[in-house]
Each structure stands twice: as C-alpha cells, then as structure tokens.
A and B are shown apart, each in its own frame.
Chain A
Amino acid sequence: MSKPSNDKVELHPLVGIDPVIHAPARLMTMTYLYVVESTDFIFLMRMTGLTWGSLSTHLSKLESAGYVHIEKTFKGKKPHTVIRLTDQGRKAFRAYKTNLKQVLDDLPD
C-alpha cells in the first residue's frame, strides 16, 4: 500500500469536519446554543438574524442529527418552543471547532 501524498495528509482533518454543523446558518445557530443553557425560538431567531422558516428548517436538521432538543410547550394559550443543545451536540460542536482550527492553522500564510 502506497503512502498518502503530503497534500492529502495536510488536509486530512477536513474529513472530520461535520457537514451538519458546517453550513453557516447551522454553525451560527449551534454557536449561540453552545454558549447558553437554553433559548426560545424567537430569541434564537433574533440572535442569528434568520427568518422563521429558515431557522425552523435548520433546527429540524440539527434535531435529526441528535444535536438539539426541541421542547414544544404552551405559555398560557400561546405556543412556546424551547431549544437546547444535547450532550451529543456539545461534543460535536467541540470536535468541529477543534478540527476546523487545525485545518486553518495548518494552512500556509
């Protein structure tokens, strides 16, 4: 078996970049969720600047990956959606951050 070439070795950490997190909108969403305990849908929408529909779609993808927990309740008669990162989501975000940093640090100036 032949040795991998140098450029393949340098870019190897890219393989570890999680494509679920890597999309800018989801990365932004994960970042805000990472620094808080939980937030409701509207606050997350205000922080990310995403539209209702866009955030809803991205959250569904993150939920499917097991990265966020979405709790749907009522406040009086009004629906209230609370979102928090799962343990798996926190681990994935930390791994993503480490991998991306490694890739960027390895790039020549």
Chain B
Amino acid sequence: MESFLRLKDAERKVFRATFQDGLWDVFIGCVVLQLAVSPLLSTRLGDFWSSAVFLPFYALVFGIIWLVRKSVVAPRLGSVRFGPARKTRLKKFTIIMLAVNLVAFLAGMVFAIRADVSSGLMYVVLFGFIVLVLFSTAAYFLECVRFFVYGVLFVLSFVVGEWLFAQHSVRHHGFPITFGLTSGIIITVGLVHFVRLLRRYPIPVVEPGSEEPAP
C-alpha cells in the first residue's frame, strides 16, 4: 500500500516512460553520424558544405521521428502532460543546454581565430569536456543514464580518433571509423528500445462489454 504513495517514484516512472521508445537515441545517433560522414565529404564539398548538407538530413530524421511518434508510439503508449515540478526542471535543462552550447560556440570561434592553439591535445580536451558536460546534463535532467554513456562514447571517439591519426596516420583523424562505430551503437540501442516497446505494448483493443471511454 505504501508503495503507491511514493509520489516521486510515480512521477519518475511517468517521465521515464516517455523515453521508452528509443527515438531520441536514434536522433542522437544520426547527429553523431554526421561527424563520421562529413570528413569523407569534405574532400569534395569543402568543410562548410560537408556539414551544411546535414541540415536537411536532420530535418528529415526529425520529421520521420515525429511521424513515428504520432502514428506508432502514441496509439500504443498514450500521452501525458507533466506536472509543474517537472516542467520547471525541463525549463532549467533547456537554459543550461543553451548556455553550454553558447560557450561551446564561443570557444570554437576563439580556436578558429587562434589556429595555433586549436591543434592537438588542448582541442581534444576542451571539446571533449564540453561534450561530456552536455551529455551529463541531459542524463541528469532527463533521468536517462544511457545519455551519459553516449557522452563517454562520444569523447572516446574523439580521443581514439586523434590517437589513430597520431600513431597510424589514419585519414580524417580516424573520425569516420570511431564516430561511425559510436553512431552505430547509439542507433542500435534506440532501435532495440523501439522494437521492445512495439512488442510490449500492442495497440489496445477494447474489451467486449467494457464501457467505451471515448465517444
């Protein structure tokens, strides 16, 4: 009886249920995929366009995820509006993420201007740290531990890629290999969650004789 009254646990369960579909994982995996593919494209398209071509790709992935959530996930899992405490927490999360992204952008600008500093270990350490902060913040506020693991994988991709480049002169700093692997792992985890949700929650059928809750 008492377990029903653990309101924090109940609220946490409700919030975590919204991450069961694994679709955010797929989106993050696709973002990481850019870091694997854009170095390969940069030789033909240049640095700017090799990244810019991914904007419509993100929009496409986001659109597909929105459609899947609406037509596949919602009929199975339903939908919820969170209470005021959770909304405040999500607002804090948004503000912190914006601030960290702004810092990352400014740091990137500084390093781009002072190109002598932007090479080597310093670059890897700083951006690795920023990425880890981003993913850790997401893991903490969204109460989703696997986002922290993704952050660690992201940083490892960076470090191992640089190591491959330094030790074995692997092309494109080894990023197509390391970020390709990381992206594959993240997308696979997302798809596993998604398939698990489809199996666990088939579209509900109204029981014969039960009162139809909707008009």
A80 within 8 A of B: yes
Contact B14–A32 (Cβ < 8 Å) = yes
Contact A52–B210 (Cβ < 8 Å) = yes
B residues contacting the other copy or chain, number (CB 8 A):
32
A65 within 8 A of B: no
Contact B77–A43 (Cβ < 8 Å) = yes
**In the complex, how many angstroms separate the beta carbon of B15 from the nearest chain A beta carbon?**
9
A9 within 8 A of B: no
**In the complex, how many angstroms separate the beta carbon of A12 from the nearest chain B beta carbon?**
19
Q: Which residues of B contact A1 (CB under 8 A)?
A: none
B76 within 8 A of A: yes
Contact A40–B10 (Cβ < 8 Å) = no
A35 within 8 A of B: yes
Give complex CA distance A52, B2 in Å. 25
Q: Which residues of A contact B214 (CB under 8 A)?
A: 41, 72, 79-81
A38 within 8 A of B: yes
Q: Which residues of B contact A37 (CB under 8 A)?
A: 81-84
Contact B2–A104 (Cβ < 8 Å) = yes
CB-nearest residue of chain B to A30: B4
Per-residue 0/1 for B198-215: is the Cβ within 8 Å of any A Cβ (1 yes, 0 no)?
Answer: 000100111101111111
CB-nearest residue of chain B to A51: B207
A88 within 8 A of B: no
**In the complex, how many angstroms separate the beta carbon of A46 from the nearest chain B beta carbon?**
6
How many residues of A sit at the interface, in one of the four size bands?
A: 35 or more
Give complex CA distance A45, B205 in Å. 12
Q: Which residues of A contact B213 (CB under 8 A)?
A: 41, 52, 55-56, 59, 70, 72, 79, 81
B17 within 8 A of A: yes
Q: Which residues of A contact B11 (CB under 8 A)?
A: 35-36
Contact A42–B17 (Cβ < 8 Å) = no
A57 within 8 A of B: yes
Contact B17–A47 (Cβ < 8 Å) = yes
A86 within 8 A of B: no
A91 within 8 A of B: no
| Known interface pairs A27-B4, A81-B213, A97-B5; A41-B207 also in contact (CB < 8 Å) | no
B79 within 8 A of A: yes
Give complex CA distance A101, B6 in Å. 12
Nearest 10 A-B pairs (CB), nearest first? A79-B214, A43-B78, A53-B210, A42-B78, A35-B11, A37-B81, A39-B80, A53-B207, A56-B211, A40-B78
Q: Sample 10 A-B pairs with CB under 8 A, ordered by A number.
A: A31-B5, A32-B10, A37-B81, A41-B214, A46-B77, A52-B210, A56-B213, A72-B213, A79-B215, A100-B1
Residues of B with Cβ closer than 8 Å to A?
1-2, 4-5, 7, 10-11, 13-14, 17, 75-84, 201, 204-207, 209-215
Residues of A with Cβ closer than 8 Å to B?
24, 27-28, 31-32, 34-47, 51-53, 55-57, 59-60, 70, 72, 74, 78-81, 97, 100-101, 104
